[in-house]
Structures are given as C-alpha cells and as structure tokens.
Amino acid sequence: MELKTVDRDIRVAYEKNFKDYKDTVPHLFHHNAIVALANGVEAKIGSVTSRFEHFHEWKRLAEDEPGVVDMETLLKGVCDKANFIDLVENFILFDDSTGATKKILARNHQSLGVNRAIEAVRDRKNRNGKLGVFWHTQGAGKSYSMVLFTQKVHRKLGGNFTFLVLTDRDDLDTQIYKTFAGCGVVDNDRDPCRASSGENLSRLLALQKTHIFSLIHKFNREVEPNQPYSERGDIIVITDEAHRTQYGTLALNMRNALPNASYIGFTGTPLFSDDEITKRVFGDYVSTYDFQRAVEDKATVPLYYYARGDKLGISVGDLNERIAAKLEELETADIDVAQRLEQELKRDYHIITADKRLDQVARDFMDHYSETWETGKAMLVCIDKITCVKMYNLIARYWEKRIAELTAELAEIKDEQEEQYRERQIAWMRETRMAVVVSEEQGEVDKFRKWDLDITPHRRLIKDGMDLP
C-alpha cells in the first residue's frame, strides 16, 4: 500500500513512488499480490503490471448496493480477511496472450458476479441446472470472468467438473479460447479441447476434460434422448451471448446429448423483458453489471446518440395500404409468414447500399467527424463486410480531399489563433488512422474481387497491425 496525505493526488503515489520502487527494488514485488494506492479519501487497487489507468476503485460490498467511491469501501471490500484471501486465491490471473505476461486482478464487479455464479453452482440441484444469466455489459471483462469462474469452481468445488464453452461464431470461439489459453488454463496443441466436428465433440465430452470449446453448430447430429453423449451431472455449459444460441434444433440436440448438465449464460447485452425462452433455459439473472453502472465506474466510456443520416424518399404515395395488403395476403397463404416477410424485406438491401446513398453517408461522416475532431474516436457499423470496405474507400477519399481543402485555406486565414487551430486540426487528420475490422471467411478474396474490392490489405492490417501508429 502506498499512502499519501489527503491533499495529494493518488497518481503521485503511482508515478513518484510505485514506479520508482519497481525500478530500484524490483525483487520486492516478485511475490506481490495486490497494489493499493490511497490518500485517505480516494483509493484504487491494481497489480504490479498495471498501468495507472488500469487501477480500479472498489465501490461495492454487495452487487445490489449503490457505488460509493472512497477509501473506506475499498478497505472493507478488499482487506476484510475472508475477502482478501478470496482475492489472492481466486481472482488473480497471469495472461501472456500478447507476448508479455500481465498480472490481472479482478475488478469489483467481476469478483462479486463470479461469487454469485459460484453459489449458483453449489445450489445447481435445487435450481434444476439453471445457473442463471451473467449479464455484464461490453467492456466489463466477460472472458476473464469466465476464466475466473471455471478456475474457482475447480479450486473450491472439485476438479471433476467439465466446462463446455459454447459460442455461435468462429471469431468469438477463437477469442474466448485464446483468453483461456493465454491464462495457462488450456493448450489445444498439447491436450486437444477444441471440437473440430460434431463427432469430435462427442468424443471430447466422453474424455472428462476440464474445458471444451465448441460452436453450437457442432451439435449438428440428431441425438436420441435415450442415447446421450454423457449423463454426467458435473458438466457445466457456458453459453456466450446466451439469448442468441438457445433456440432451435441445435439447442435441442445439445440438451438431449447432455441431459444432466447445468447451464449458465454469459452476455454483454440485456435480455428482452418478455424473453421467456432464455429464462426457461438459464433462469433469471445471476449477476448484472449494466452499461450505466459501467460508465459510473469508468469501466467503459459514455455512449451518446446524435441523430444523423441520409433520408430516403418514397415515390409511392399508397405505401401503407400496400404494406397492409401484403400482410393480409401473407396471413391467408399457407406459408411461413416470418420467412416470407424476411424475403420481402431483403429488397431494402439494394436501397440501403445504393452507391449514391453510400456516397452521401460518407460525405456526412467525413464532414461531421472532421469538424468535431477534438471529441475522440469513431466507429462506423455497416450492414455487411462488402459495404464496410466500400465505406472505407469513400471516407478515405473524402478525408484526403478535406485535408487538401483545409491546407489550401491556411493562406487565407488572417487570425493567428485561428491559424494555430487549423494547423492542429490538419495535423490530427493526417495522423488519424482508419481500419476495416471484419471477421475472416473462406474465399473472401474472390468474394471481394467480384465487387472490384481488395480485402487483402485490410486482412493484413488486422493480423499484423503493420500500418498502425
């Protein structure tokens, strides 16, 4: 603990003291578990590898309490004997997935949430295997919470549990596996744990492994209720983005394959209030850490909505009547109404991705972001991968054009302060980097080539980061 007087900012404790200790007497920290910085009012904790920005406050002693930022809350939450031993034993990870080992200390909401999930596992028989939904908003460290959860179950409740970690996308499966692997929990090369097929998944489940990673699509073989993959009661299925993956034939096959398993859903988005199917599978929330609380805790940045966009004109005056007539027609037809409506609405794709409209959106984005250039980062979400690359090309073109225009205008500016402002803006625009971030798929080079687009430089940037500052 590095303690300062009440009139000193706790950053001083980090910059002037802690960093100096690490340089001059690094051996003192070989066995250090937790680092606390405080000034009698404020307090934060982190690990020996944490940057100051990664030190966090301890605001709550229980999940449903309002947050209180002060040193007393941290001392009660961290230095209570039972809590302290729990943190040291169960809530520290070492992650070397980026090449340099980082010591990860769980944040307040992670320890509270994981402990609630642990209690659900203890009570799984009374819960009929419904361990609940673990809803922690985006940016709250959901993957690390999964690792902490499985490790504490093995450490405190017994090592025979098998965790089946399910996702519905290849990139998510890889991301979560890499988190577990980076923390030294699994190694697919030495001890295979990633299902390559439905048949391979059934074999892995029979081997009583500690962790198995799979897409739910691997449950693609029909399973008879009397011929399960495993009847063990110590299998826990962790479903990422729970509300997306528990419907349909694949989910039914999974439950027939694992009739005695318990289920917990991890998600970064809240469930709809009328989502009875998710509640029927997983039960109610076991832990919640919503977006507003994450913003208050500075675990994520605020989100603001500013209505902008290109208006689409409708050339048909009787649109409502035509929609009503089409719905009536579908209701009386002997077809799947939802499927037919989906097919009808696909026609909108050509309107949304029309070249003229994309060009207008790109101009608007460039104008808005270059004018509000001091406000930070931006993310543009597109309807599909092809449109992402199209928008990148359009915005990049207008971005360079705007830089040229501002540079030409410099000679006409009479006010010195305005000139300084414009020069900073131009410098910022030149330093700004754009990147296309899309998941990889087979045959993507040829797919983009058909649209006269090249995905290879974007894929190279995603994998190697060679052009990033």
Q: pLDDT tens for residues 153-188?
A: 999 998 899 999 998 888 788 889 999 999 999 999
CA atoms of 37 and 26, how far apart (whole Å): 18
Identity of the amino acid at 312: L
pLDDT at 407: 93
pLDDT at 466: 54
CA atoms of 167 and 244, how far apart (whole Å): 9
pLDDT at 464: 77
Residue whose structure tokens are 């500690």: 210
CA atoms of 326 and 323, how far apart (whole Å): 5
Residues 213 and 237: beta-carbon distance below 8 Å? no
CA atoms of 310 and 354, how far apart (whole Å): 12
Q: pLDDT tens for residues 298-313?
A: 666 676 666 666 666 6
Our separate counts of H helices and E strands in the chain read: 20, 11
In the numeric block, which tokens belong to residue 375?
A: 């406000």
pLDDT at 20: 95
Closest CA to 32 of 11, 20, 12, 46: 46
129 CB-contact burial (10 Å; exposed 0-12 / middle 13-18 / buried 19+):
buried
CA atoms of 231 and 227, how far apart (whole Å): 9
Q: What angle do CA 187, 144, 462 make, to 5 degrees?
A: 75
Chain CA centroid to CA 239, Å: 14
Q: pLDDT tens for residues 357-382?
A: 999 999 999 988 888 776 677 889 99
Query: Left if phi > 0, otherwise alpha if psi is -120 to 50, otherwise beta: which for 241?
Result: left
Across 356-389, b (16+ Cβ under 10 Å) vs e yields: eebbebbbebbeebbeeeeeeeeeeebeebbbbb
Q: pLDDT tens for residues 312-335?
A: 665 555 666 666 676 666 655 555
pLDDT category, 468, cuts 50, 70, 90? very low
Q: pLDDT tens for residues 47-91?
A: 999 999 889 999 889 888 877 778 889 999 999 999 999 999 999
pLDDT at 469: 40
CA atoms of 256 and 230, how far apart (whole Å): 9
Closest CA to 144 of 108, 193, 188, 110: 110
All structural domains of the chain: 2-90 (3.90.1570.50), 109-296 (3.40.50.300), 349-464 (no CATH)
